[in-house]
Amino acid sequence: MSTYNNYNSVKPLGASSSGYPHPQIAPGQYPLSQVHSIVQAQFQAQLQAHGLSFNPNAKRFPPKPPVHMATPLKQTESVPGPRRKKHKPNEKQLPEKALAILPESALYAQLLDVEARVDAALARKKVDIQEAMKNPPFIQKTLRIFVFNTFANQNVDSSAPTWTLKIVGRILEDGEESEQAGVAAHTIPPLYPKFSAFFKRVTISLDKRLYPDNHVITWENSRSSATHEGFEVKRKGDKEFSAQIRLEMNYVPEKFMLSPVLREVLGIQVDTRARIVSAIWHYVKARKLQNQNDPSYFHCDQALQKVFGEDKVRFSMVSQKISQHLFPPQVILLEHMIKLSGNSPVGSACYDVTVDVPFPMQMELNALVANVERNKEIDACDESICGIIRKIHEHRRRRAFYVGFSQSPLEFIKALVESQNKDLKVLLGESGNNAEKERKSDFFEQPM
C-alpha cells in the first residue's frame, strides 16, 4: 500500500482549470505499470479536447535564442567590438637577469640611451620642419620677362602668313650677369614656381582694326589649375602693329599698394596687410606712443594723425582703419611691336620685376621629411638587434634551467614534475581545487 500512497495526491491536468469532469484513480485500483498509461491517456484526451497534441516519444531540442528580425530599411550585421591593443614590451631592452649575467651589457644600455635621445631630437626637428613648411618663408628675387615674336610665310604667296607673340621669363640668381635677351629657351629652374604662377591675370590687346572679332585675349590664374612656362598667341596676318600687354601680379598672401600718406610714415610701397600692421606697431613702439594707462591704445603723432585723423587709436582697430589707405598693386603695362621682317625672333625686349619666391631650401626640407630610405635601413638594423635579443632570452632561460638542476637535482625534478602535473590538469579540465580547503584561511596563507 505504501507504493501506491504516492499517487493519492495526483491530480490530472485540467481537472481544476477546465470544467470537464474526470474520473479519479483510487489507491490500489490499478497496478503501478498501468497507472502511467492511464494518466497519459487521460492527459492526451484533454489536450485533444483543446485541439492540441502530445507525443511523449518526440525528441526534445534545446530552446532557440530569440531572433531579432531586421527591418527592410536597415540591414543588421554583427560588428566585432574593438580589440584591446596589447602593449608589446621593448624587445631591444635586455632583462635585468641578463644584465647581471653579462657585464658587457652595460655598454649596450648606454647605446640604447644615446639612441633614445637622438630619436627624440630627430622627432622634435621633424615637427619643427613640418610646422615651418605650413608657412614657408619667401625671399625676393628678380623675374626677367622676355617679350618677342616670330613670323612665318610672310613673303610666300601660296601659304597664309602667320606671326606668334611669346612671353616667357626666368628667375635671376644672385650675382648673375645680364642674360641675352630674346632667347625662348630661358625657363625657370625647377626650384621655383613656373612663370604663369607669378601672375593673376594676363591681358593681350591686339589692333582692333586688324582683328575685330577677337582682339582681346585674357588668361586668368583662377580658371587654370595648371601652371605654364610662358604665354603664346598665334594669329594670321602680314601687317605690323603694336600689341598692348597687361600683367597683374599674383601675390600670396595678397599685397596692397600704400597711399602716399601711409607710405611716407612707413617707407613701404607694396606689402601684405599683416606686415603693414606690424610696421605700424614697430613705429608706435619706437616712438613710445603707447598709452601708459591703457596699453590697448596708442597716441598719434603728427604723421599718424594724417593717416587716422584721430589723436588716439585702439590697436585692434588699426587693420580696419588702414583699409582706406590700401589699394591693389599697380599693374605692369608693356607695349610690343609685332615685326614681320628681319631675323626671327624679332623685337626682343626684357623687363625685370621683383617677385616673392619660396625659400630655396624648401625642396630639400620636403625631401628630408619624406625620406624613407634611411628609415628602412634603421628598421632593418632594429630587426637584427631584436633577433639577437630574442636569442639572448632563450639562452638565459636554458642557462637558468641547467643552473637550477645542477644546484639541487632532486628538488628541481620534483618541482618540475609538479608543475607539469598542474599544467596537465588544466589542459584536461580537471579541477584540482578542494572546496573544503579553500573555505579556510589557511589555504590562502600558503607560500607561493
Averaged over successive runs of 10 residues, the pLDDT of the chain (448 residues) comes to 40 42 50 59 63 54 47 44 50 74 81 86 80 74 90 77 91 65 48 86 93 91 85 90 92 88 91 91 92 91 91 92 92 90 79 82 68 71 86 86 88 87 79 62 68
CA 348 to chain centre: 49
Overall number of domains in the chain: 5
> Is 86 inside any structural domain?
no
The answer on 185 and 313 residing in a single domain is no
Same-domain check for residues 207 and 154? yes
Query: 409-428 and 373-407 helices cross at what angle (nearest 10)?
Result: 120
* Confidence (pLDDT) at 216: 93
pTM of the prediction? 0.49
Mean predicted lDDT score pLDDT of the chain: 76
Q: Answer yes or no: is 60 within a domain.
A: no
Check whether residue 233 and residue 201 sit in a common domain.
yes
Q: Is 383 inside a domain boundary?
A: yes
For 251-282, the pLDDT digits (tens) are: 888 889 999 999 999 998 988 898 899 999 99
Same domain, 247 and 149: yes
pLDDT for 260: 92
Residue 54 lies in a domain: no
pLDDT of residue 17: 41
Task: Identify the three-state secondary structure at position 85.
Answer: coil
Position 276 scores a pLDDT of 93
Question: Is residue 169 located within the same domain as residue 245?
Answer: yes
Containing domain of residue 377, as a range? 373-425
- The residue among 257, 234, 189, 262 whose CA lies nearest residue 338 is 234
Are 298 and 314 part of one and the same domain?
yes
* Cis geometry, peptide bond prior to residue 345 (ω within 30 degrees of 0): yes
Q: How far from 231 is each of 210, 220, 339, CA to CA, in Å?
A: 21, 12, 18
Would you state the pLDDT for residue 9? 38
Q: 236 Cβ partners below 8 Å, 6+ apart?
A: 160, 161, 162
Same-domain status, 163 and 247: yes
Pair 348, 237 in one domain: yes
